[in-house]
Amino acid sequence: MLRATSTDREFVVKILAEAFFDNKSFNSIVKQDDKKKTRIQKIFEYYFDILIEQGLIYLSDDKKACAMISVSGKKKRGIKALLMDMNLLFVLGIRSALKGFRREKLVVKVHPKSKYYYLLFLGVFPEVQGQGIGTRLMTELTINNPDLNQPICLETYLHKNVTFYQKFGFKIYHQMNFGFPLYFMMRDI
């Protein structure tokens, strides 16, 4: 497992944009038109730019999978963050961005009140999914990783992902419905 640097931005964005292109949760927010791919890339650029400074971004050794992790209590707000938020607003469109921000506000309300890591995204290039690459990355993330010394939270809407994360000690602690079930999962240390 490799810790991503700013030079990995394009590569990380490509992995996640391809992995999440048909994601129901993303597609409920991102406008479905000929600019969909660009919008999804811009979302991951936004998160990369925040998390390379304030979080953790990892790549699998073969650079076919990656994970983006936020650290609770580590959000810096300032003019740069405001400009990034405004740029995302214009990329997504006001309606989609507001829907996304409203959903995020609901999701954050059920996160733990204590310190935790938040696995925002785990993605594998679609053409190599099912070959154990995501499993190896999750194993390295969750076993003997000194960087992750607090509980880890995540959400998923896919039941197959619930089963996947349960293999690593994650348990469902909450569920919401956004027209599809959203499972909130946590792994204690």
User: In the chain, how many domains are there?
Assistant: 1
Of the two residues 31 and 83, the one the predictor is more confident about is 31
pLDDT value at position 179? 86
* Total-model pTM: 0.89
Three-state secondary structure along the chain? Answer: CEECCHHHHHHHHHHHHHHCCCCHHHHCCCCCCCCHHHHHHHHHHHHHHHHHHHEEEEECCCCCEEEEEEECCCCCCCHHHHHHHHHHHHHHCHHHHHHHHHHHHHHHHCCCCCCCEEEEEEEECHHHCCCCHHHHHHHHHHCCCCCCCCCEEEEECCHHHHHHHHCCCCEEEEEEECCCEEEEEEECC
Statement: residue 186 has pLDDT above 90: yes
Identify the band that residue 21 occupies on the pLDDT scale cut at 50, 70 and 90. very high
The boundaries of the domain holding residue 162 are: 2-187
Identify the band that residue 77 occupies on the pLDDT scale cut at 50, 70 and 90. low
Identify the band that residue 146 occupies on the pLDDT scale cut at 50, 70 and 90. confident
Statement: residue 61 has pLDDT above 80: yes
CATH value at residue 52: 3.40.630.30
